[in-house]
Structure 1
């Protein structure tokens, strides 16, 4: 196993403030797992906690990169597998990397293709709220979601993917994923891992965890080789990915195994139920190195974000803000609403009173509803801008609340308004 690489000093993370107090007593001097920090990359700093906007195919869907910057996003995350299929990693390399290709000057992330092992394999899509129900009995390791077919097949060396675009077969391995991500050129990359589902048996979870550990070692070795071979390129940080489903011993083992490797940070992924999110993130935060950032994959709901911040997560990403926007759903302080309702036909107010986003400063609910009903794509853009701004601002405000010692009051107020009697 390689030791630290000399160029890793080009990436750093500094803890700034610790979360103190507790939900029942905000004035307590107890120190928890939550914190604020600063991630330093070749393309700028990220103040954490931070929500990272998802630009799967080198675009935050329907939103100009300039608008993503203006709404306050500090970084963008793209998908290595999708960019491998289109336009191809060599194109991004020739363009000068992901940021230059998409006209984004800030920090960038790429995931490894590990999510597609699950989404194209079993057909499940939502990890955090994944139902264990399927057409197969519990513990069936070949379970596929109803109406789906298996498009990813795992072996010890890697994964065969069947393209959802044209049916072509593609091979991904730890080494191929590292080569693809180095060509894409993001500031932060993730090691190639196998994402399991809650349907998988305990035995398979153990087998998969060991495979992900072996793949992590191969990722580090190839990453350091490419760092040396691609002299003159900005250093790209590599995060290991923690799996283990909902088993405490497996999660802690994964953290200890990968925590001993020379990763620059860690991603917390894997199958889990929503109610166990904070507990699992907490296990990981207790085990992982304190001086390295923790990225939680696939989170954007307000309650999930707050519980994850408390448990020690530093950054988050999720496609949800733009995905729901394409169905006319928009976030407000009082919860998520939907513009398709007839009551908004003559509603001349903004999506959210007091919101500082470009959409709310310039457009009415009535106009955006008209666009949606008329199937005009501008509705996707305007709602997406607002939704991304809503989540980015909420996490920014949570960071400020940690810094000034008012986190627990801010959490209670925010979630109390958003969920009403449900919180």
Structure 2
């Protein structure tokens, strides 16, 4: 079994280009991880996701533990085999979904009891159980079990929640044990409070992890607050380990996070947007539902090489969206994932060449132009 490792190959300001080594393959950083919530990136085949340039996918502990259950996936040979993805997988701990999706939950020092959003059945999630589920799934990168408070929150609430998460981080580390070839990431909390972020980072470093996440952002606080936190938070974490910003994000969030030293991100945005008729392009967002596209023979993006742009017109995409045809979700999701991965490759190349600021300026200038003029 190969080892888990991280190498920084180049830096430009705070931004880093590198590679995470795992037994299942290398992950080029900065990396964007498409989200395969229920063991599938919606509307995509795994080989298509790989064709967009994705090196790693994210799976959701909460959804998979409820359906089809971690025990069943384990009996069927693990998550990689189950979903036909032989490259790295990161699983979240279930903490965020429990907080955000379940009204009926009870939080104690031990963990969280909650009712399933599917059938109302009762479940318990603790640091130990989260580690057990993620072991049964067989994911390559395992996340600590934490509590993610909503922002805004007062300092006392943030402090209490963060310190509980740090105690859970220690329990997660103890329960994870020694698993060669698999990595465990700690999650920094503390909301938008600098002193609490630093306290959280110190606690995590004392425990010792293979990578570190900046948690508790992208929870509705807005880009300005998020960037303010990212101006200092990554610097509290070890330089020789990957830094993962959870749940981000829009293209301009991604670019700003990379500028501030983030190595990994994930978001449902490209796939969710694709199913609702939103396409992300170099020139910003395109709403394919708009009537202006009805007679437009041009592609979504002339410069894009994805199947949607190579082979189909805006007029066709508008038609299949209006007709609620499944191919619309497939094509727009493929395009969005392709665009996100192309953006990551552009960032990696720019950092490697020491011209990140020029790349970022060009990125913003193209977006400011807006969509191509209607015919």
The TM-score, its normalising length taken from structure 1, stands at 0.84
Write the deviation string for residues 32-79 of structure 1: whole angstroms up to 9, x where unpaired: 321111100111001101111111111111111011011111110010
Equivalent pair of 1:355/1:361 in contact (CA under 8 Å) = yes
Q: Secondary structure at the match of 1:18?
A: strand
Q: Distance in 2 between matches of 1:205 and 1:343?
A: 47
Give the corresponding residue for 2:11.
18
Give the corresponding residue for 2:52.
71
Q: Distance in 2 between matches of 1:152 and 1:396?
A: 41
Match of 1:223 among 167, 171, 176: 176
Q: Structure 1's 199 and 286: CA in aligned 2 closer, same or farther, altered over 3 A? A: closer
Give the corresponding residue for 1:264.
210
Give the corresponding residue for 1:38.
19
Please give the root-mean-square deviation of Cα atoms over the aligned residues, in Å.
Answer: 1.5
Write the deviation string for residues 323-346 of structure 1: whole angstroms up to 9, x where unpaired: 111110101211101011111112
Equivalent pair of 1:33/1:282 in contact (CA under 8 Å) = no
Deviation at 1:109, TM superposition (A): 0.6
Give the corresponding residue for 2:284.
335
Give the corresponding residue for 2:237.
288
Q: Distance in 2 between matches of 1:93 and 1:115?
A: 23
Q: Distance in 2 between matches of 1:305 and 1:381?
A: 23
Moved more, 200-209 or 270-279: 270-279
Give the corresponding residue for 2:373.
none
Match of 1:166 among 111, 119, 130: 119
Equivalent pair of 1:297/1:316 in contact (CA under 8 Å) = yes
Q: Distance in 2 between matches of 1:153 and 1:312?
A: 36
Give the corresponding residue for 1:140.
none
Match of 1:410 among 329, 342, 359: 359
Give the corresponding residue for 1:308.
257
Deviation at 1:283, TM superposition (A): 2.0
Count of aligned pairs between the two proteins: 367
Equivalent pair of 1:188/1:239 in contact (CA under 8 Å) = yes
Q: Secondary structure at the match of 2:201?
A: helix
Q: Distance in 2 between matches of 1:382 and 1:153?
A: 41
Match of 2:192 among 246, 263, 267: 246
Alignment of 1:52-67 (within 5 A): 52-67=33-48
Alignment of 1:4-153 (within 5 A): 10-19=3-12, 32-120=13-101, 150-153=103-106
Q: Distance in 1 between matches of 2:105 and 2:272?
A: 24
Tell me, yes or no, if structure 1 residue 344 matches structure 2 residue 293: yes
Deviation at 1:199, TM superposition (A): 4.1
Moved more, 150-159 or 384-393: 150-159
Q: Distance in 2 between matches of 1:189 and 1:419?
A: 38
Q: Distance in 2 between matches of 1:169 and 1:33?
A: 45
Equivalent pair of 1:117/1:194 in contact (CA under 8 Å) = no
Equivalent pair of 1:120/1:152 in contact (CA under 8 Å) = no
Equivalent pair of 2:214/2:234 in contact (CA under 8 Å) = no
Q: Structure 1's 401 and 199: CA in aligned 2 closer, same or farther, altered over 3 A? A: closer
Deviation at 1:294, TM superposition (A): 0.6
Moved more, 170-179 or 296-305: 296-305
Q: Secondary structure at the match of 2:21?
A: strand
Equivalent pair of 2:188/2:212 in contact (CA under 8 Å) = yes
Equivalent pair of 1:117/1:195 in contact (CA under 8 Å) = no
Task: List gaps (5 residues or longer) in structure 2.
Answer: 371-375
Q: Distance in 1 between matches of 2:104 and 2:258?
A: 34
Runs of 4+ in 1 over 4 A off after TM superposition: none
Write the deviation string for residues 200-224 of structure 1: whole angstroms up to 9, x where unpaired: 3321211111110100000000000
Q: Distance in 1 between matches of 2:119 and 2:4?
A: 38
